[in-house]
Amino acid sequence: MTNQYDYDVLYLGSGHGTFDGAIPLAQSGVKVGVIEADMIGGTCPNYGCNAKITLDAPVVLTRAAERLSGIVQGNLNIDWAQNEAHKETVINGLPDMIGGLLTDSGIDVIHGRGVFEDNHTIVVAGKSVTADKIVISTGLRPHRLDISGSELAHDSREFMSLKTLPQKIAIIGSGYISMEFATIANAAGADITVFMHGDRALRQFHAPYVDKVVTDLKQRGVTFISNADVTAFEQNGDQIQVIYSDNQSLSVDWVLDASGRVPNVDNIGLETLGLIYNKSGIPVNDYLQTNIDNIYASGDVIDKTQPKLTPTAIFESTYLFKQFSGQTKASIHYPVVPSVVFTSPRIAQAGMLVQDAEKGDYVVQQTDLTKDWYRQVDNETLADNTLIFDQQHNLVGVTEVSEQAENVINTLLPAIEFKFGPDEIGRLIHLFPSIGMATWGQL
């Protein structure tokens, strides 16, 4: 601990890249401060993961009822206003809850926009706050298209706060946010058009499985326009004209700009410090240090190859807690980081990708899961996975498209991370019947 500065460790941002590690760090006796300009807890709890999965829950229910049509009687419809109100009920208390955990641990929460003055000083509302070590955990924000009329478009945070669902929605982009929100809004009755930058959606996922999801959405009425060069948005009465590809246009009620997310590195004084950053974020070394040795970065703001996801941020934040509290001097060693897109069905993956395995000396096992009795219980019609094994038959990668994909990948993570062989796998007795039992039976 130091008497030279206000804090031993000062975090800029209060999301998962901060609070999961800052709380135990403060409890260990380290003097900690957290600066936050927006909602305590950052994107994920307030206008990201938690809000999205709450809005998606009725979609999962309606899909299950659809698959069991004839067994389950009656039609289910999503009431958007009630769904959004339920989402607010679920997430509204999270900032106070997280803020309470911070303050109860002895952390000072400083509200306001922080700007670096030097490598030990951040200015908030005209007041200088100093620290021995500083962690930049400012995350990502929605990218906005630099085109005429861009102010007429909305971002993901605004979509999840809609009190009334517009009837006709244009979604620009075909990544995570686009595909998830297209699924939710379509299930709630909106007419959706997805404007794709190229000719493939979800390029980070296994293409044949993405094609299954896209085909299903098309059958449900979602329109996909590939290679759509969107050049402008224009107000036309109560509607908005989306101008694209050789001056074609589409009239809609609402536009979601889901063209990506960018790191929050602007206007926080990094240039003053000479701290290196780029369009992908802040480069760090194996100890999460920036090019200025007392300044670190954590979470989605890092320029990294690992998926920019909440669990990755939690892992980094916890690693910094262990480093700052003296529990480790080792460099960070990332485990297998899974990823999922919450369409319906989901697509999830972990470990080696299929396209990489097909170039090497691996066994690639593809399975049509709709033929498995367990998947027939609720009539899954879109369910496939690919398991990748090394020559010792250790599982090294998996990808799946199904209603249970996220649970399958979570189930198999230990086998990949700890390189389970037949002896370890044989020692595991699972609950039956369950998705875990069905999944491990593939190994």
Q: What is the pLDDT along the chain (443 residues), one digit of tens a residue?
A: 668 999 999 999 999 999 999 999 999 999 999 999 999 999 999 999 999 999 999 999 999 999 999 999 988 999 999 999 999 999 999 999 999 999 999 999 999 999 999 999 999 999 999 999 999 999 999 999 999 999 999 999 999 999 999 999 999 999 999 999 999 999 999 999 999 999 999 999 999 999 999 999 999 999 999 999 999 999 999 999 999 999 999 999 999 999 999 999 999 999 999 999 999 999 999 999 999 999 999 999 999 999 999 999 999 999 999 999 999 999 999 999 999 999 999 999 999 999 999 999 999 999 999 999 999 999 999 999 999 999 999 999 999 999 999 999 999 999 999 999 999 999 999 999 999 999 999 99
Measured from the Cβ of residue 41, the count of other Cβ atoms closer than 10 Å reads: 26
For residue 1, the model assigns a pLDDT of 61
For residue 74, the model assigns a pLDDT of 87
- Cβ distance 295 to 276 under 8 Å? no
First vs last Cα of the chain: how many Å apart? 50
For residue 354, the model assigns a pLDDT of 97
For residue 2, the model assigns a pLDDT of 63
Question: What b/e readout covers 263-300, taking b as 16+ CB neighbours within 10 angstroms?
Answer: bbbeebbbeebebebeeebbbbeeebbbebeebbbbbb
Q: What angle do CA 204, 207, 212 make, to 5 degrees?
A: 120
